[in-house]
Amino acid sequence: MSRIARYLRIFYRRVEFFTTFLLVQRVMQRSLLLKIMNKTILITGASRGIGAACVRYAEKMGLGVVATARSKDKLDALQEQYPTIQTIVADISTAKGRETIASRIKQPLDFLLHNAAVLYPPKKLIEADNTEFTQSITINVEPIIFLTQQLLPQLKQAHDKARILTLTSRAANNAYAGIGSYCISKAAALMATNVLKTELEPMGILINSYSPGVVDTAMQKTLRSSTDEIFPYSSDFKQLKTDNKLITPKHVAEHLITALTSLPETGFMHDTIKFKP
Ligand SMILES: NC(=O)c1ccc[n+]([C@@H]2O[C@H](COP(=O)([O-])OP(=O)(O)OC[C@H]3O[C@@H](n4cnc5c(N)ncnc54)[C@H](OP(=O)(O)O)[C@@H]3O)[C@@H](O)[C@H]2O)c1
């Protein structure tokens, strides 16, 4: 065989391989699209930060999105940008707010993202404000239990097994001075998630926690506003911001929504899912 003929053969084999690769990729994209078509996700804390980024990415993936938070102006702005999403203005720390959300969701609920949370400006736990402590629990823990409880009928109607993710943090497992109320609330939220994991699985509902890492949101701004004397990691977080090393909400949203919708069941249920760049 001449040299030219040999080169041509190699060239055609590569073209063939590349075409097959593109075809497989298109089939996989199509099957993922078919998998999430007609499915609905509810995202709490959708007005900014990780929650708003998740709304954008879930909408882009073709999911029906229900976005909830207290800030009507921010939800209205999101809906103007993404007219197909449904928005619900509600305070998830109150029974009334949670009832409003449950009563407005008429369709089966395939995915639920418990993302909303509060972190008050750092303060030593020994000097804690009782109202802020209570609010940390009612906002960061109670919805995981009681909003899930209210949404059980819609979750049970999910197309496949419904999946729930709750946002956790290193603060759930580590004692950080200055953000004690947040640490306690996140530890309780993680335990609530793990107890629900054992109770919901027999009902065909899967729940797990997701740890996003250090993300560039309003919550991080609150941590940077402190001093090392009150919150010893304040300088570290300021440095991460200066060095442009904070994770973007967009990156977290892409990883989180993909994990929520596409991880095989065993991978989804294994342990806390962690953000991977
Ligand atoms: N950023 C990080 O580095 C980091 C690290 C680890 C874990 N996390 C976790 O990731 C999640 C999102 O954090 P983020 O940084 O995106 O926070 P963020 O920017 O402060 O956003 C918090 C969201 O929660 C909503 N929210 C607060 N209280 C609420 C209430 N009572 N009712 C309804 N919605 C309420 C807020 O909306 P409204 O004010 O409009 O109600 C807002 O949309 C949280 O669970 C957080 O603990 C974040």
Per-residue pLDDT of the chain (277 residues; tens, 9 = 90+): 677 777 777 777 777 766 666 665 665 565 555 566 789 999 999 999 999 999 999 999 999 999 999 999 999 999 999 999 999 999 999 999 999 999 999 999 999 999 999 999 999 999 999 999 999 999 999 999 999 999 999 999 999 999 999 999 999 999 999 999 999 999 999 999 999 999 999 999 999 999 999 999 999 999 999 999 999 999 999 999 999 999 999 999 999 999 999 999 999 999 999 998 8
CB of 143 shorter than 6 A to ligand 1? no
E strands, the chain, in order: 40-44, 64-69, 86-89, 111-114, 162-167, 205-211, 273-274
How many Å lie between the centroid of ligand 1 and the Cα of residue 263? 24
Looking at domain 37-64+106-274, which CATH architecture does it have? 3-Layer(aba) Sandwich (3.40)
Predicted local distance difference test score (pLDDT) of residue 1: 60
pTM, 2 dp: 0.90
CA 232–ligand 1 middle distance (angstroms): 22
Task: Identify the H or E element spanning 252.
Answer: helix 249-262
Q: Tens digit of pLDDT for each residue in 102-136?
A: 999 999 999 999 999 999 999 999 999 999 999 99
- Output the CA 167–ligand 1 centroid distance in Å: 9
The neighbour count for residue 61, using CB atoms within 10 Å, is: 19
Question: What is the rounded CA–CA span in Å between residue 178 and residue 44?
Answer: 26
User: Distance from the CA of 268 to the center of ligand 1, in angstroms?
Assistant: 23
Pocket test for ligand 1, best of 87, 101, 167 (most atoms within 8 A of CB): 167
